Each structure stands twice: as C-alpha cells, then as structure tokens.
Structure 1
C-alpha cells in the first residue's frame, strides 16, 4: 500500500468570513470557487480549485490560524503575485532559500500561512 496522490488540503477559517476567503483565494490567488455538496454547505466555509490544486476552508468555532503548518503552492510568476498580494494588504516575506525554488510566504485573511513557490 502506498499514498498515490492528494485530493485536497483543508484549512480552517472563522465563522462568517466566506467573503474574505473568496477575495483572497479567488480574487488574488486565482483559484475558482466550487460548490460544496449540499450536506456540507450547511456547515459554512468554501472550496477552491484550479490546475489540480484543491483548498477547502472549513469553519471552526474556536478558530486558531495555522502559523507553521501550511500548503506550498507552485506559482508561475512569483514576483507579480507577490506584488499583487503586497498591494492588496497581504505582505509577503522571504524565508531560508530552498534549492530549485524562489519562494515567499503570505498569510491569508485569517492568519493561515501559505507558501508560494516558483521553480527556478
């Protein structure tokens, strides 16, 4: 038996902040919102996907952001995306170099850490 792929990553968000999630994940990162199944939609949150990447944001009553654990998203134009995020009030920051990648970190509207990586 072996892991053969990943379906999605789940991040938490506070109650009632779906519009902020849409603005960040869809408006800035370019992921498209997809409908949640009706029996899950009642819980709140939202799902986004594009190019095989799936991020599910689920509502947590006692929300606490993921400050260390994070998804690493491969992007095609890191400098332009970083400039867009910075201008929108989501400052990006560099970290230790990682061979083969340019990378930056950003926090989503809820404080969850997101790594943005461009292959060199």
Structure 2
C-alpha cells in the first residue's frame, strides 16, 4: 500500500513556548491555530492548520532545534513576508538558487529551520493582471 500524501508536519519546541509559536505561526505566517484534542493538549504544544497545511508543534523536554531538516512553505508574496518577519526581528537567509523559485530560510522562535518558497514570476503575474496588461 503506497503512501498517499502527507497529513501534517510535526516540529518540536521547548515547554512553555506556545505564545511564541502563536506569534510566529499564526501572527506572522498567517496559519490559524486550531484546538488540539483534549488528551493531547495536556502535553503542551499547539497546532496550526489551514486546509491541507497542518503544522503541529509539540513540547519536548530535552528540546534541540532542527537546523537542517525543515518544512518548506509555498507563499504568494515572499518579499512582503520577509519584510514582515524582519520587522518582527526574524532574519532571512538566502541559499543556492533553485530553478523556478525565489526562496529564503528563516528560523522559527525556537531555532527550527523553515523554508519559504515562491514560484518565480508569481508576483509579476499578479502585477500584470492588476495593471490590465495581457500577454
């Protein structure tokens, strides 16, 4: 039986980091928080979900951030998101080009690596349609 699709991404955070997670994932990345099932909520952590995008953060006593492995999120306006993150004190890092994408890395409040990706030309296509020009 083949794997069909990912269901969610689980990242770790230190115990008590829920408020910082909410500010980053819901506030800056715009992924709404959803309630954890009661029997799991007792463990701490928080879940953020919008449609098929599901990021779960679990509290880990002996927490260490993930610096290489990472989730990658598709975004619609990378420049604006990077500016918002910078205003909130999060520095982005450029990496080797990846054909077809503009991308940056940022770390969440706990040091976990996050990749933000925008298909090349996506912003231009939005700008072109807004100006009424046709190709």
TM-score (norm 2): 0.87
Indicate the residue corresponding to 2:75 in structure 1. Answer: 75
What is the CA distance between 1:52 and its match in structure 2?
A: 1.6
Q: Over aligned residues, Cα RMSD in angstroms?
A: 0.6
- Where does structure 2 lack aligned partners over 5 or more consecutive residues? 121-135
What is the CA distance between 1:51 and its match in structure 2?
A: 3.8
Distance in structure 2 (CA, Å) of the matches to 1:50 and 1:92 = 24
Distance in structure 2 (CA, Å) of the matches to 1:35 and 1:100 = 36
Is 1:27 paired with 2:21?
no
Q: Higher strand fraction: Structure 1 or Structure 2?
A: 1
Distance in structure 2 (CA, Å) of the matches to 1:49 and 1:75 = 15
Q: Higher helix fraction: Structure 1 or Structure 2?
A: 2
Distance in structure 2 (CA, Å) of the matches to 1:74 and 1:4 = 20
Higher RCO structure, 1 or 2 (CA under 8 Å, sep 6+):
1
What is the CA distance between 1:93 and its match in structure 2?
A: 1.0
What is the CA distance between 1:2 and its match in structure 2?
A: 1.4
Structure 1 residue runs of 4+, over 6 Å off?
none
Distance in structure 2 (CA, Å) of the matches to 1:3 and 1:96 = 30
Indicate the residue corresponding to 1:104 in structure 2. Answer: 104
What is the CA distance between 1:6 and its match in structure 2?
A: 0.7
Is 1:85 paired with 2:69?
no
Distance in structure 2 (CA, Å) of the matches to 1:14 and 1:47 = 15
